[in-house]
Amino acid sequence: MAKALMGHIDNDVRSTAVLAVQNRRLRRRVADLEALVLRLQADNDRLAAAAREQELTVEDLQPA
């Protein structure tokens, strides 16, 4: 039984290399996604500020 369980666990050097490659790829993808989130937050802040400015401009033009 122990032999069967140990045979199920793959201790091949190639699998370690594959895991390392996958780990690097996933870390790079996470970094890309974090950068995208920061860019989208900055865009959202810019658009929100423009919308607030536009709102003020429209309110200023309306008669009281």
What is the predicted pLDDT for the residue at 47?
Answer: 93
Question: What pLDDT was estimated at residue 55?
Answer: 81
What is each CA distance from 29 to 4, 32, 41, 47, 54, in whole angstroms? Answer: 36, 5, 18, 27, 37
Whole-number CA gyration radius for the chain: 27
Question: How far apart (Å, rounded) are the C-alpha atoms in residues 31 and 51?
Answer: 30
pTM of the entire structure? 0.62
The domains of the chain are located at: 13-59
| Whole-number Å distance between alpha carbons of 21 and 15 | 10
Low-confidence ranges of the chain (pLDDT < 70): 1-14, 58-64
